Amino acid sequence: MTNPIPHRNPYTPGAGHQPPYLAGRAEETNIFRELLSQETILKNLVLTGLRGVGKTVLLDTLKPLAIAEGWVWVGTDMSEQSSLTDERMATRLITDLATWTSSVVVSHSEATPILAQMTRRVDTPLDYRHLMDIYANAPGLPSDKLKAVFDLAWRVAGASQRRGVIFAYDEAQTMSDGNDKDQFPLSMLLDVFQSIQKQGVRFMLVLTGLPTLFPKLVAARTYAERMFRVVVLDHLDDAETKEAILKPIENTPSALPFTDPAIREIYTLSGGYPYFIQFVCRELYDIVLRSMDANAVAPFRNSFEAITQKLDRDFFDGRWAKTTDRQRDLLGVIASIEHCETEFTIQQVEEASKKRLAKGFSSSHVSQMLQALGEAGLVYKNRRGKYSFAVPMLHEFIRRQGI
């Protein structure tokens, strides 16, 4: 007697974990393909959206597309430490560039005066040490030095071999100016890329981050609006959510299909956000495996409450625990506002608080508390001057708290 084929749960909720099927991102992928076809780099890319919307997953999906088109891909997660000062930002960029140039050997005849002064060898690899030597010996400010490094790297290593180099950084909203009064790492980043791109150096920036990212770029350099193509990732619609649910088990031996009522419930609970879809489906798939009755709606219905509680514990509770009682009162007021899941204003919050609370909030108090909640990563001020939740489905979680 043969043993039954074990069922493997295909769903992969996690921070940046690649899902078994990427649903609903064809338009965004096509935009990236258009940017890859630029002869002169006029536009860079910003991928932005709430947590759980799939920014990191899409970024990982774009990498092989770029490589297949002849581009070099370098970069990593951007950290606050990496962008704390101009020098640290320069070191971050040169470190990433060196992962490509270190395999390139520069002959003495190709060497620039700066490079020739640093070595008497006929051939030298353009590795991290040599790039940093070029940086140290180039005249000017850190931005001038970094431009010299980029220009040399492209002229001796890139122009005849590659379409270009993509510098891709996740969590880019951590970058900022003003941590030190004399340090402007974000401004330097924009200045360097804008300058070298004008000179024909085919280095492109691809940045992903929370919705606060692009306003930060524009605040640092107003011309950033013209440097970037901004792609805002939103939740999936009904059809895309259905694909995200069903495609992973389409060709699975003895697949356990989800019923239409269950799919509708999943969409309602997940809001169409890719992370939540993966989370709910993984839990439900395990339940189905235990019940071995994929066509029964009852096991699904009886499980959604437990899954919701687990989602609250795993995703929302940690953020909620950092709020004060008064901040929770304010968040409860916001969650009561119609269409609060899209955006809301200080005036709306003030008016709603007077209806719901014995002691309402003044507009100045609302403004101060929203600023504090923004620093905690729960809300953000969008480009229209209004506010939005920075965490998907947070309004539903707040309502479940009975605030």
Most confident of 16-30, 241-255, 259-273, 316-330: 316-330
Mean pLDDT of 269-280: 93
pLDDT at 116: 52
Boundaries of every domain in the chain: 26-232, 244-320, 325-400
- Tell me the pLDDT band of 1, cut-offs 50, 70 and 90: very low
Among the residue ranges 54-58, 108-112, 261-265, 397-401, the one predicted with the least confidence is: 108-112
The CATH number that domain 26-232 falls under is: 3.40.50.300
Of 204 and 8, the one with more pLDDT = 204
3-state secondary structure the chain: CCCCCCCCCCCCCCCCCCCCCCCCCHHHHHHHHHHHCCCCCCCEEEEECCCCCCHHHHHHHHHHHHHHCCEEEEEEECCCCCCCCHHHHHHHHHHHHHHHHCCCEEEHHHCCHHHHHHCCCCEEECCHHHHHHHHHHCCCCHHHHHHHHHHHHHHHHHCCCCCEEEEEEECHHHCCCCCCCCCCHHHHHHHHHHHHHHCCCCEEEEEEECCCHHHHHHHHCCCHHHHEEEEECCCCCHHHHHHHHHHHHCCCCCCCCCCHHHHHHHHHHHCCCHHHHHHHHHHHHHHHHHHCCCCCHHHHHHHHHHHHHHHHHHHHHHHHCCCCHHHHHHHHHHHCCCCCCCCECHHHHHHHHHHHCCCCCCHHHHHHHHHHHHHCCCEEECCCCCEEECCCCHHHHHHHCCC
Tell me, rounded to whole angstroms, the distance of Cα 35 from its chain centroid: 18
pLDDT at 110: 52
pLDDT at 125: 80
* Class of 325-400 in CATH: mainly alpha
pLDDT at 4: 47
pLDDT tens for each residue of 147-156: 999 999 998 8
pLDDT at 303: 81
pLDDT at 294: 47
- Tell me the pLDDT band of 102, cut-offs 50, 70 and 90: confident
340: pLDDT strictly greater than 70: yes
The whole-model pTM stands at: 0.87
- Tell me the pLDDT band of 3, cut-offs 50, 70 and 90: very low
pLDDT at 255: 61
Mean pLDDT of 213-238: 94
353: pLDDT strictly greater than 70: yes
Strands 387-389 and 379-381: antiparallel
Mean pLDDT of 220-233: 95
pLDDT at 388: 95
Of 16 and 308, the one with more pLDDT = 308
- Tell me the pLDDT band of 10, cut-offs 50, 70 and 90: confident
Average model confidence (pLDDT) across the chain: 87
- pLDDT over 90, % of the chain: 66
pLDDT at 292: 55
- pLDDT over 70, % of the chain: 87
Mean pLDDT of 16-45: 92
CB atoms near residue 331 (< 10 Å)? 25
Among the residue ranges 47-51, 110-114, 180-184, 355-359, the one predicted with the least confidence is: 110-114
- Tell me the pLDDT band of 249, cut-offs 50, 70 and 90: confident
Q: Report the DSSP beta bridge partners of residue 230.
A: 46
Of 109 and 280, the one with more pLDDT = 280
313: pLDDT strictly greater than 50: yes
| Nearest-angstrom CA–CA distance, 143 and 86 | 8
